[in-house]
Structure 1
Amino acid sequence: MSNSRTKKMFAGAIGNVLEWYDFAVFGFLAPFMSSQFFPSSDATSGLIKTFGVFAAGYLARPIGGMFFGQMGDRLGRKRALQLSVAAMAIPTSLMTILPTHDQVGLLAPILLVLLRLAQGLSVGGEFIGSCTYLVEVAETDRRASSGSWTMFGAVAGILLGSATATLIHMLLTTEQITDWGWRLPFLGGLLIGIVGWRMRRGLEETSDFVAMQSSGKIESRPVIQAVKEMPFRVLQVAGISLSLGVGIYSLFVWMPTYLTHFVKPPIPHALLINSLTMLLMLILMPFFGRLADRIGYKSVLSFGSLALVLTAYPLFRWIDGGTIMATIVSMSAFAVFVGALQATLAVAMAELFPPRLRFSGMALGYNLTLAIFGGTAPLINTWLIAQSGDLTSPAWYIIVIAGVSLLFTLGIRTSAGESETST
């Protein structure tokens, strides 16, 4: 890979490092933050409220997706990527000085929700902008490999968030983390944002967008046109994104909370196990990306969803046994299956739309799924256990979601007759 292409890959992916680092850190530290913003005698109730705030950030994503979709398809992929990374860094950094409930009362959770909404607006365009850019700058036979860098950045962000939370746990006591230590990881968002902005200042526009400009094919209202011309494609993007949205947030963001607050006895070193299994996923993603270029992204994407359908319940049952070995093996298996989804989703979404509607169409479908199902997964999983008393209830939720996603994936047409969507 040339230096120029390597720079494009890193610049395109770095915003996802920031996006997923922030949301991962919030998920990992939610048990400590809950008492600061939602004081309650019932720890589970406070945790549910905190994960509700986590979900609130995703409710703003469809709005952000429409805004950045309009910008990306009209003004260029480069400009959308520059704005999204800057807009994400500011609210993330402000988390470090957010007052608590003891200091300002009800205003504290209100401010917390507002920051999450601001973050949701920016990330509504970040991931899709990265997918669009990396697929469009790739050679025709390496689109899956190139697109996998989007998720490589996302997993790297989650891994960085997990490692940071692990370090905080190692250096501080529980009381220190609860009082002030939870703020420290959000400082990392400012650094990532500055680096991302500098890297993206020198990006070149994609040849697909330049060609649209030259031929005068820029849509004046791409969001509306995507809904009018290709409503089923938008729905397909939403459907194939389900497994990843619920899988990643259930199995790698919420899982440390599950291992330490629900499994009895609690699994020791839960965050470390989580970090190591995500490292495995990171290592596997380039392999799955290259495999998708060889045998087709539809096959690899279907494998990931089908594997979750077949194994989620037995693996959750095994984890519930409370042993470290069962947890490591189960989490490693989940890393393989979700890694297959991570590596292929970008190209699968991008090739459903022609360039003139690509950014907007992807943003609508993907952000709809992440808002309704992805960001709410920790909340729903916690609620399911609280209501049923069954520690395996999240597995059934994952199975249903992955099954629906599999059906949408199998419905993708990848024949030569679909040439408009891939050129």
Structure 2
Amino acid sequence: MKNLFSYASLVALLAACSGPSQQEKAQAAADTPADTVPTAATAVELPVPYATESATKRSKVIGWPAGRTPVVPAGFTITEFAGDFNSPRWTYVTPNGDVLVAESNTVPTDTKKRIAAALKLDTSKSLKSTSANRITLLRDTNKDGKPDVRETFLADLNQPLGMLVLGNYFYVANTDALLRYAYQPGQTKITGPGQKILALPAGGYNNHWTRNLLASADGSKIYISVGSGSNVGENGMDKEVRRANILEINPDGSGERVYAAGLRNPVGMDWAPGTTTLWTAVNERDELGDELVPDYLTSVQQGAFYGWPYAYFGAHEDPRRKGEQPALVKKSVVPDVALGPHTASLGLAFYDQKTFPAKYQNGAFIGQHGSWNRSSFSGYKVVFVPFSNGRPAGKTEDFVTGFIANEDSKEVYGRPVGVTVLPDGAMLVADDAGNKVWRVSAAVAGG
């Protein structure tokens, strides 16, 4: 069958329906001054909106050739922990040390994207007609760094991502609901029925279907990340109820409140070691140019507003929402660490073990999936942000690289997403496009 559409043409059609005109771009650039926004780790110079044209550059995933792996710094080793998955997007370690892998992906809901998925026109492997919708259990019984038990832990889900063991329950965040199941440590599969304890808003822009979970230290609260249903509220804010937020609930699903708002697509969440401060990695908005808007890592202040959709990186008003909510623009919190524009910063894990060298201990690792809205590739790596006394303490550094095969031909081997620290001090990197989970270990234990 001859393809009647190309994925690029479908994207162009969609963009033509919602993008600003050249006159609107010029006016926005004239109205918006350049600024320099200091963060705790670096100083970030932000250009005016539309200083460059909004670009589209989608990767072509070619998979990992035999013998090739991602690249890690000297003193570290990276190996394949497990492979042969179907979009392994997120990992979680149970209290007894089992590794759970959520296999799920974007499933298009509109006609054009369904056609693209059916014809396999999306070479970046973000769009697929179906999702595996399962959680796989891996167990390394002999502690050799390779699992020797592999079981389907839970199946027939709906785009699962976040996982959590709390008390005698296992929780999983589907795109549209939070479920919990009876659970005992060591069991290799869930056999009992699940209970839906909270409905979640589903559908939306690109990959904002993911719902992550994190428990408070005392287990009294669960935090749920819910991304926006649009790029910048273009479908109306009545469609964004309970979205672009981190929600807080009790373990039984009651007592819901918005813990923090204005976070376009918060996915990774974690607690900074030795503190009670929640941090999140946020995937920011598109179509303001190559250098806007930086994705970011930020501490999350209870009750705070982080700008979306009216402002970005503090009180920088988005020209597409000009004059709508000046009070919210003014109160928008400046994030702590800029992670680069269009990196798709999604994964987050603080290093709370001791086997990595001292400089990495208590610091943050961020999985950057790579985005489409830049003329050159951004992301496609895991980066590290050093911390001291619970605060960012240095420049962001590349840590796991080598995912890009050839930028000129747009080829990549895989795309990193979730990052998880293991009890033995190694770190896992979920590669949903390469269908592998990688294990990073230190050659010599740190101190």
Which TM class, normalised by the smaller chain length?
under 0.3
TM-score by length of 2: 0.26
Flag the structure with higher strand content.
Answer: 2
Where relative contact order (Cα < 8 A, 6+ residues apart) is larger, the structure is 1
